[in-house]
Amino acid sequence: MSSVLTEGAQPALTKLSDEESMFQEAVRDFATSEVAPRVMAMDEKAEMDSDLIPQLFELGLMGIEIPERYGGTGSNFFTSVLVVEELSRVDPSVGVLVDVQNTLVINAILRWGTEEQKEKYFPLLAREVVGAYALSEAGSGSDAFALQCKAEKDGDDWILNGQKLWITNGAEGGLYIVFATVAPEEGYKGITAFLVEKDTPGFSVGKKEDKLGIRASSTTELVLEDCRIPAENVLGEVGKGYKVAIETLNEGRIGIGAQMVGLGQGALDHTKKYVQEREQFGRPIGSFQGVQFQIARMATELEASRLMVYNAARLKDAGEPFLIPAAMAKLQSSEVAQRISSECIDLYGGYGFTKEYPVEKFYRDSKIGTIYEGTTNMQLQTIAKTLLK
């Protein structure tokens, strides 16, 4: 069984700078040599290989936008997108671990953190600490601000009580951005973001979900019981957590778009190789025009999705408005990833339905793309409401 295609991914259709191309190639080589051999075992065990995470830090992939003075790579958001795409081409579980670290946790601290918070946490996040973003609860999914997790003032500290669900990187995390309400009667205006360290008394990681896809990526419950957080660990302003959440998630959606583009590319790469090897009626199935047309259409849809993701990331880096481009990129890429991975299984025939070949895993992994960091319906609503203002 081949767990990864070793040839180059897609033809050079999208123009990158020399520096971006070199970085992309380095990440691709790492994904092929170090991630690929671990993919199937991680999926079966439903856990990340512990030897892999230190390598991600050593390569600088866990602190891409952290300035060099704090020990980070000092690069830009677009570079994060390239990294997530290349890792997801081999394993979307590894892609989303790096994505949450960079596009959510680090981005939030970059924008909203105090200098003291950056000095304390950025060197750790760049070197050894995995971050997690804890917004969702049992009763607050798309209705993101229907939070039950509460924070009460006690002297100079805050006491947090509540539960969080479906938290990516929950098991590996060492630092969590936790959203809680300080004034339930004020609705979203009471939401506040807190930086919570894993060893804080009263904080614990609860149930780990047994998932359909991205199984090596941990998705857990978090439990906070009289968790005392110092005032200096408020991220942003008290009562302004909704701004931290909304604006960070707008950026994070571009990262999920990159994950889905990488996933689609991985499935298509394997399938292109397979249809040139698999023979029926005395010749490779890739020589049949019907199959060729399917490959061509998948490649075209994938490239359109990639360009939308890259455009949104470039706009973000340029300081230009990117709300609609990000929502469109996430919407398009997540739906395309599902279509491509499904069609790739069809081209594999019965083999595609087995775990002997990798396309069934890409198909399972693709489903989450239309759910997390804003469902398909929420993207449609964002696009429509903004356009119709």
Q: Which residues contact 352 (CB under 8 A, 6 or more apart)?
A: 344, 345, 346, 359, 360
Asked whether the beta carbons of 347 and 360 are under 8 A apart, the reply is no
Per 3-state DSSP, the chain is made up of helix, strand and coil in percentages (nearest 5) of: 55, 15, 25
User: Is residue 144 classed as helix, strand or coil in its secondary structure?
Assistant: coil
Total Cβ atoms within 10 A of residue 275: 20
Radius of gyration for the chain, computed over Cα atoms and rounded to the nearest angstrom? 21
Report the alpha-carbon distance of residue 358 to residue 364 in Å, rounded. 10
373 is catalytic: yes
Report the alpha-carbon distance of residue 96 to residue 115 in Å, rounded. 27
Q: Measuring CA to CA, which residue among 10, 327, 368 is closest to residue 168? A: 368
Q: Measuring CA to CA, which residue among 381, 382, 304 is closest to residue 340? A: 304
Asked whether the beta carbons of 152 and 182 are under 8 A apart, the reply is yes
Total Cβ atoms within 10 A of residue 290: 7
Cα 155 to chain centroid distance, Å, stands at 37
Active-site positions?
A: 373
